[in-house]
A and B are shown apart, each in its own frame.
Chain A
Amino acid sequence: MEGFIHQVISGIATGGIYASVALALVMIYQATHHVNFAQGEMATFSTYITLTFINAGLSYWLAFGLAFIVSFAIGVLIERILMRPMQNAPVLSSVGIFVGLLLIVNSLSGWFFDYTIKQFPTPFPGKPMWGGYVSGHELGSTGVTLVVLIGVYLFFRHTRLGLAMRAAAFNPVSSRLVGVRVGWMLALGWGLAAAIGSVAGCMVAPIVFLDPNMMSGILLYAFAGALLGGIDSPLGAVLGGFAVGVIENLGGAYVVGTELKLTLALVIIVTVLTIKPSGLMGRVVHSRV
C-alpha cells in the first residue's frame, strides 16, 4: 500500500510536467489548429539556456527567469518567421514545418551544448518529506507547475490581453473587426507556450538528466495527456497531463514494466482517439458538408 501511494504521488509530480507541456500544446492548437511537434525540443533548448546562465554564475531563480524570457522571445520569433506564412497551408505542410523545426532545434541543442548527458541542478532540498512519500524536488516541481498553471489561468481570465488572445483564437475575423491584432496575439501565444515549455524542461531535467533528446518521451506523454483531456480544452489538458502521469507510473510499476512505458502512451493515444476523439473535456466538433 505504501508503495502504491508513493507511485501515485510521484506520478502526480511527473504528471505536473506533462500537464505543462500539454498546456503549451493546447495553447498553440487552440490558436492555430496546429500541433507543435517541436514543443519538446524547444523546451530542451530552453533548459540548456538556463544551464548556461547558471554556469555563468547567476543564481538559479535568476537564470530560470531569464530563460523564461528568452524562450518567450524565441517562441514569438518562430511564429513570426516560420508559422506566419504557413497559416492556411495544408496539414502536410504544417506537419512538415514542425518536423523540420524539431530537427533543427534538436541539432542546435547538440551543436551548441554537445551531446553528453549533463546533470541539472534543482533548487529544492533533496531530502524526502512527508514521511518519505515524496522527495523535495517532486514537491517543489509540482508547486512550480501549479503556480504556472494558475498564473496562465488568471492571465487568460482576468486580463485584457488574455481576453484578446482568447478572442483571437476563438474567432479571428470578428476579433480583427473590433481591433484585436490577431497576428500578434498568435505570436504571443507561441511565446507563452515556449516559456511554459522552458519551465517544464527545467523541472524535469533534474530527474531525467539533460541531453538533446530529453523531451521526446515527455512530449509523447504530453500528447497523450492533451488528447485524453481534450485537445481544445486547457483545463482538460492539465487534468489529462496529471492523469497520464499517474497512469504511466502505476502502469510502469504494476502492469507493463518500465521497458514499455512509451508504448503505454501510444496505447492511451490510440484508445482515446478511437473511443472518444474529443477527449474527456473537449468540445465535440460537428462540421457541415
Chain B
Amino acid sequence: MRTSWLIALAVLLLAVVPVMRFSDYHLFQLTMVVVYGIAILGLAILTGFNGQISLGHGAFYAIGAYTTAILMASWNVPYWATLPISAVVCAGVGFLLGLPALRLGGLYLALTTFALAVAIPQILKHKLFEEWTGGVQGLVIDKPDAPFDLPLSSDQWLYLFSLAVGVGMYVVAWNLVSGRIGRAMMAIRDHATAAEAMGINIAMLKTRTFAVSALYTGVAGSLGAIAVAYVAPDSFSVFLSITLFVGLVAGGAASIGGTIAGALFIEFIPNLADKVSKSAPSAVYGVILIAMLFLMPQGAGGFIHSIWRRIFKAR
C-alpha cells in the first residue's frame, strides 16, 4: 500500500514541479519523454514480456501519428478524441500483422519488422495516399490550447495531458503484465510448448499481445504528433524504430519502470552527444547498446531493481 502512495505522490510532483518551474522547451522535452515511454512500453510488452522481437515499432508510431494528424487536419476532430480512434486503428493493424508474425521465430520476426521499418516512409509518401498524408511535405496540425480558460501555455497543458494519458496507460500495463495474462505472456516467451501444455492458446495470445503493443506505440505516436504539431514521412525512418529498440534494451526489456529510464535515455542522450559531432548520437547509441548487452543484460530497470532488492529485502 505504501508504495502506491509513494508513486501517486511522485506523479503529483512530476505534474506540478515542471509546470511551475520549467521553460516551454524543457516541458516539450518532458512531453516527449512521456511519449517515448509509452512507445517503449508497447515494445516492452511485445518483446520483453512476450519474446517477439520487433525492430519495426516505428511503423506503429507512424500509423498512430498519421491517424491523429489526418483526423485533425482533414476532419477537424478535436485532438483528445483522436487518441481512442488511433488506438483502435493501431490495435487492428497490430492484430493483422501479428498473424504472419505467428509463423516467424525470433530472428525472422526481427528481420521482417526491420523490413517494415525500412519500407514505411516510402509507403507514407506514396501518391495513392497523398490526398490524406500530404505526401513528402507531411501535415501541419495546430497545437491545442488549454481548455476551460486554464492559465496554462499550450506546452504546459500538453505536458499535463500526456502525463495523464501516460500514467493511465502505465497503470493498465502494470496490471496486465502482473496478472494472469502477463504470466501467460511470459510463459510463452520462456517455453512455448510448456505454456501450450498448460492450456494457453498461443496463437490467440500472441496476436492479441501484438495488438496491445501496437496500440500503446500508436497512442504514443498520436501524442507525439500533437506535441510536435507536424508529421512527415521522413521523421518515421528506420532510425526511429531502432531508437525505440535502443531505449528498450537500455531500460531493460522486461521491466515496466525501465521503459521510463529508456525514454529519458533516448530523449536526452542525443542532445548531449550532438554537441560532440553530428554523427555522435547514433555512435553513442550503438556503443551504449552493446555495452549494456555485455555489462548489464537486464538493462537499467533490472539494475535498479536488483539494487532495490538488495537494500530493502536483503535482511
A interface, CB within 8 angstroms of B: 33-35, 37, 82, 85-86, 89, 91-93, 95-97, 99-104, 106-108, 110-111, 115, 216-217, 220, 223-224, 227, 259-263, 265-266, 269-270, 273-274, 277, 289
Kindly identify, within residues 244 to 261 of chain B, every residue whose CB is under 8 Å from any CB belonging to chain A: 245-246, 249, 253
Judge whether A259 and B246 touch: CB under 8 Å: no
> Does B176 interact with chain A (Cβ within 8 Å)?
no
Inter-chain contacts of A97 with B (CB < 8 A): 289-290, 293
Chain A residues within 8 Å of B283, by CB: 103-104, 107-108, 111
Partner of A274, one of B100, B280, B289, B290: B100
- CB atoms of B112 and A269 under 8 A apart: yes
Task: Find chain B residues with CB under 8 A from A33 CB.
Answer: 107
Q: Which of A107, A216, A266 contacts B280 (CB 8 A)?
A: A107
Choose among A100, A107, A263 the residue that contacts B119 (Cβ–Cβ < 8 A): A263
In the complex, chain B residues whose CB is within 8 Å of the CB of A270: 100, 112, 115
CA distance A172 to B231 in the complex (A): 51
Cβ-neighbour of A107 out of B103, B253, B282, B294 (below 8 A): B282
Contact status A100-B286, CB under 8 Å: yes
User: B18 near A: Cβ within 8 Å?
Assistant: no
- Chain B: which residue is nearest A277 at the CB level? B103
Query: Main SS of chain B's interface residues?
Result: helix
CB neighbours (8 Å) of A103 from chain B are: 242, 246, 282-283, 285-286, 289
Instruction: Assess whether A108 is in contact with B279, with CB atoms less than 8 Å apart.
Output: yes
Residue pairs across A and B with Cβ atoms less than 8 A apart, 29 shown, are A35-B110, A37-B114, A86-B293, A92-B53, A92-B249, A95-B53, A96-B245, A96-B249, A96-B289, A99-B242, A99-B289, A100-B293, A107-B279, A107-B286, A110-B279, A111-B277, A220-B115, A220-B119, A259-B126, A263-B119, A265-B115, A265-B119, A266-B116, A266-B118, A269-B111, A273-B112, A274-B100, A277-B108, A289-B193
Residue from B55, B103, B106, B125 within 8 A of A259 (CB atoms): B125
Choose among B53, B110, B123 the residue with the greatest number of A CB atoms under 10 Å from its CB.
B110
Which of chain B's residues have a CB closer than 8 A to the CB of A95? Answer: 53, 55, 106-107, 110
Q: In the complex, what distance in Å separates the CA atom of A211 from the CA atom of B123? A: 23
> Closest 9 interchain pairs by CB?
A103-B286, A104-B286, A100-B289, A91-B106, A107-B283, A107-B279, A110-B279, A100-B290, A111-B279
Residues of B whose CB lies within 8 Å of any CB of A are 47, 51, 53, 55, 100, 103-104, 106-108, 110-112, 114-116, 118-119, 122-123, 125-127, 193, 238, 242, 245-246, 249, 253, 277-283, 285-287, 289-290, 292-294, 297
B297 — which chain A residues lie within 8 A by C-beta?
93
**If A100-B290, A103-B286 touch, does A216 touch B118 (CB 8 Å cutoff)?**
yes
Residues of chain B lying within 8 A (CB to CB) of residue A262? 118-119, 122
Report whether A259 and B115 are in contact in the complex, using a CB–CB cutoff of 8 Å: no
A244 to chain B, nearest CB (A): 12
Q: How far is the CA of A34 from the CA of B111 in the complex (A)?
A: 11
A-B pairs with beta carbons under 8 A, tally: 134
A116 to chain B, nearest CB (A): 12
A274 surroundings in chain B (CB, below 8 A): 100, 103
Residues in A with CB closer than 8 Å to B119 are 220, 262-263, 265-266
User: Which residues of A lie under 8 Å from residue B282 when comparing CB positions?
Assistant: 103-104, 106-107
- List 12 other contacts, CB 8 Å, given A96-B245, A101-B290, A273-B112: A35-B107, A35-B111, A91-B110, A92-B51, A92-B53, A110-B279, A220-B118, A223-B114, A227-B108, A263-B122, A266-B116, A266-B119
Considering the complex, give the chain B residue whose CB is closest to the CB of A104.
B286
* B306 → A minimal CB distance (Å): 18
Which of A100, A259, A274 has its CB near the most chain B CB atoms (within 10 A)? A100
Q: How far is the CB of A84 from chain B (nearest CB, A)?
A: 11
- Please measure, in the bound complex, the distance between the C-alpha atom of A269 and the C-alpha atom of B108, giving whole angstroms: 9
Across-interface contacts of A101 in B (CB, < 8 A): 286, 290
Residues of chain A contacted by B47 (CB below 8 angstroms): 92
CB nearest to A25 among chain B residues = B111
Q: Determine which residue in A92, A259, A260, A270 has the highest number of CB atoms from chain B within 10 A of its CB, and name it.
A: A92
Tell me, in angstroms, the Cα distance from A93 to B285 when the chains sit together.
15
- Chain A: minimal CB distance from B157 (Å): 35
